């Protein structure tokens, strides 16, 4: 099974992505983690991405697509993927679909983690204290939420129109959210 997880920063994509990937034996592909690994390793890609991420902007589509699509293809040849953080815009979704259709790796379900704005801010600033991610400061968070509204939120309609979307109330406990997601995923 192939699953996409979309949601604003702080909606719990990372937490739920990891849980679901473990429970369903899927490959957890978190684009933020993949990019941070490139930054830490000091690769050319990482050097290009670092400043963009620190500002809360999106790295260029071609960069993220070249990074993630080979992994999508490989995971599809195994038990499937749990994609967390990609696609993040309709342009990325269109290009990802074109490529995924070539190797029969399109998603089976899209989960939208829905959380009210004040709860998102609270969670991210709490995470800033415990994890120290450099993009978890107040200014960048405001920008990441704006980027989400402008670039990523239109994906909700895009996937609803394709009959793939399941909206989950993610302002509940981690266990409750996981249960709700498992309940809406197609049975395989």
Binding of residue 12 to ligand ADP (CB under 6 A): no
Among positions 1, 24, 45, 52, the unique one binding ligand ADP when judged by CB under 6 A: 52
Binding of residue 59 to ligand ADP (CB under 6 A): yes
* 3-state SS assignment for residue 1: coil
Query: Contact 161/76 with Cβ under 8 angstroms?
Result: no
Closest CA to 45 of 27, 66, 14: 66
Decide whether 64 or 82 has the Cβ nearer to ligand ADP: 64
Among positions 3, 5, 9, 69, the unique one binding ligand ADP when judged by CB under 6 A: 9
Distance CA 27, CA 51 (A): 28
Check residue 169 and report its DSSP letter. E
The residues, any chain, with a CB within 8 Å of residue 93's CB and separated by 6 or more, are: 87, 155, 158, 159
Closest approach, Cβ 136 to ligand ADP, in A, equals: 8
Stretch that binds ligand ADP, among 49-57, 75-83, 165-173, 174-182 (CB under 6 A): 49-57
Closest approach, Cβ 188 to ligand ADP, in A, equals: 26
Distance CA 59, CA 57 (A): 7
The dihedral built from the CA positions of residue 115, 121, 122 and 125, taken in this order, carries a sign that is positive
Among positions 1, 18, 32, 172, the unique one binding ligand ADP when judged by CB under 6 A: 32
Binding of residue 56 to ligand ADP (CB under 6 A): yes
Among positions 12, 17, 80, 85, the unique one binding ligand ADP when judged by CB under 6 A: 85
Binding of residue 144 to ligand ADP (CB under 6 A): yes
């Amino acid at each position: 099974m192939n699953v996409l997880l979309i949601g604003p920063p702080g909606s719990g994509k990372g937490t739920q992505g990891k849980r679901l990937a473990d429970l369903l034996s899927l490959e957890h592909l978190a684009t933020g983690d993949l990019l941070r690994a490139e930054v830490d390793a000091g690769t050319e890609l990482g050097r290009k991405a670092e400043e963009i991420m620190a500002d809360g902007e999106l790295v260029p589509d071609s960069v993220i697509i070249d990074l993630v699509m080979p992994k999508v293809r490989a995971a599809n040849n195994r038990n499937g993927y749990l994609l967390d953080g990609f696609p993040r815009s309709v342009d990325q979704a269109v290009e990802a679909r074109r490529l995924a259709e070539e190797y029969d790796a399109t998603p089976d379900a899209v989960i939208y983690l829905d959380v009210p704005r004040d709860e998102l801010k609270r969670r991210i600033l709490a995470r800033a204290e415990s994890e120290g991610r450099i993009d978890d400061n107040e200014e960048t968070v405001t920008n990441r939420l704006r980027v989400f509204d402008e670039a990523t939120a239109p994906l909700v309609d895009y996937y609803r129109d394709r009959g793939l979307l399941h909206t989950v109330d993610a302002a509940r406990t981690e266990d409750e959210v996981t249960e709700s997601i498992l309940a809406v995923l197609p049975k395989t």
